[in-house]
Structure 1
């Protein structure tokens, strides 16, 4: 592997179609597509200021690097990436990629990141700002996520998420086969139109969570007091520790909690309309 160290490149495609390179303390200045159509690339302690540096790259490592705002859309149409201990200030990263391994990465403008990606293994990721991270991606494993981005995890499939703190709105819409463990989910309209969404030991806050869901499962979860009109038109099996602020027209299944706030079961409920609302101590049923 050829070592290139302590230098800088600018302009368009300075390292186009390179292979078997180790870049150390290299700066990619303003320009485009610096490392395009390359393979077996290692970048350590590098700074990326130009647009689109890693497109169509096959097999690469990025360690202790920095992507400046100008390095937008830096990682597209590539595969077999391992990224560690890196900070990214540019938006629109990770598109149409497969086989991504990430550890200890912070993204300060997470606008439209991780779109249409597959096979992601992520540890300790921080996402700040932006909208729609992980749109249309699948086969995702995450342990350790902190995010305040809006509309996270829309249209994703086959996801396992652990130890997350997510503050957002409209999260996990239209998802399929998603399991979330030991996490805090803060925001309005969580999990609408989901299929096979399972929450285990999670804390949920925000208005109207978990509506229009199919085969929804909650195990030992807790709800904030602002969670009203939950489970509307959902098929659900839920065990909740503590109170639920409000439940509205769950379609079928069962919900067990310590107490309930407002319960709305009215003529607008959808068939079969047989969801049981129970109390832990009395196993009292409120269904009509």
Structure 2
């Protein structure tokens, strides 16, 4: 493997088409496509300032690196990436990629990151700002996520998420086969139009959560006081270890909670209109 150490590159495609390359303390200055159409690349303690440095790269490691604001859209159409202890200040990262392993990464402009990616295994990720992270991505495992990005996890499939704190709006829309464990989900309109969304030991805040959901499951979750008009037109099995401020027209299933605030069951409810609302003492059932 060729070693390049303590050097700077700029301009157009300075390392285009190289293979079996190790970069240490290298700076990629302004320019485009510095490491395009490459394979078996290791970058350690490097700084990336130019656009599109890693496109069509197959098999690469990025360790203790920094992507400056100018290094936007840096990782596209690539696969078999291992990234660790890296900070990213540029937007639009990770597009049309597969087989990504990541640990201790912070992204400070998470606008449109992880779009149409497959097979992600992530530990300790921080996302700040931006919109629509993980759009249209599949087969995702994450343990440790902090995110204040808007519209996170839309149109994703086959996701397992642990130990997350997500503050957002419209999270988990149109998802399929998603399970979230031991997490805090803060924001409006959570999980609308989802299929097979399962929340385990989660705390949920924000108005009108979990509406139009199909085969929704909640286990040992708690709701904040602002969770009103929940479960509208949803098929749901839920155990809530707290009061629920409001429930509106759940379609079918069973909800068990500590207590209920406003219950709206009106002529607009959808068939089969047989969802049971129960209390934990199991002595009261609010039939429709």
Answer yes or no: same fold by TM over 0.5.
Answer: yes
Deviation at 1:283?
3.8
| Secondary structure of 2:70 counterpart | helix
- Output the aligned Cα RMSD: 0.4
Alignment correspondent of 1:186: 186
Cα offset, 1:76, TM superposition: 0.1
In the alignment, the residues of structure 1 paired with residue 267 and residue 283 of structure 2 have an alpha-carbon distance, to the nearest angstrom, of 24
Partners in 2 of 1:285 and 1:112 — Cα distance? 45
**CA–CA distance in 2 between the matches of 1:283 and 1:161?**
35
Q: 2:71 aligns to what?
A: 71
Q: Match for residue 12 of structure 1?
A: 12
2:160 and 2:283 map into 1 onto residues whose CA distance is 32
Q: What's the offset of the Cα at 1:223?
A: 0.1
Mapped partners of 1:39, 1:26: distance in 2: 17
Distance in 2 between the 1:98 and 1:282 partners?
A: 48
Instruction: Name the structure 1 match of 2:25.
Output: 25
Alignment of 1:163-178 (within 5 A): 163-178=163-178
Instruction: Give the Cα–Cα distance (whole angstroms) in 2 for the partners of residues 125 and 111 of structure 1.
Output: 15
Q: Note the 1:110-125 alignment, pairs <5 A.
A: 110-125=110-125
Which residue does 2:236 correspond to in 1? 236
The CA deviation string for residues 13-66 of structure 1, in whole angstroms up to 9 with x for no partner, is 000000000000000000000000000000000000000000000000000000
Q: In the TM superposition, what is the alpha-carbon distance from 1:133 to its structure 2 partner? A: 0.1
Deviation at 1:287?
Answer: 1.9
Structure 1's consecutive aligned runs of 4 or more residues displaced over 2 angstroms after TM superposition are none
Residue 40, structure 1, aligned to residue 40, structure 2: yes
Q: What secondary structure, in the 3-state scheme, does the structure 2 residue paired with 1:69 have?
A: coil
Provide the residue aligned with 2:215 in structure 1: 215
5+ residue gaps, structure 2, are none
Question: Could you say what secondary structure the match of 1:116 adopts?
Answer: coil
Q: CA deviation at 1:242?
A: 1.2
Q: 1:155 and 2:155 equivalent?
A: yes
Shift in Å at residue 98 of structure 1?
0.2
Query: 2:168, 2:23 → 1: CA distance?
Result: 37
Residue 280 (structure 1) aligns with: 280
Structure 1, gaps ≥5 residues long:
none
Q: How far apart are 1:285 and its partner, in Å?
A: 1.3
- Map Cα deviations across residues 215-255 of structure 1 (whole Å, 9 max, x no partner): 00000000000000000000000000010110000000000
Give the C-alpha shift of residue 193 in structure 1: 0.0
Query: Could you tell me how far 1:282 is from its partner in structure 2?
Result: 3.2
CA distance in 1 between counterparts of 2:170 and 2:217 reads: 18
Partner SS state of residue 70, structure 1: coil
After superposition, the C-alpha distances for 1:160-208 in whole angstroms (9 at most, x for unaligned) are 0000000000000000000000000000000000000000000000000
The two structures have a TM-score, normalised by structure 1, of: 1.00
**In the aligned structure 2, how far is the partner of 1:283 from the partner of 1:134?**
43
SS at match of 2:160: strand
Q: 1:227 aligned to 2:227?
A: yes
Match in the other structure for 2:256? 256
CA change 1:277–1:56 in 2 (3 A) is same
Q: Is 1:247–2:237 an aligned residue pair? A: no
Residue in structure 1 matched with residue 265 of structure 2 by the alignment: 265
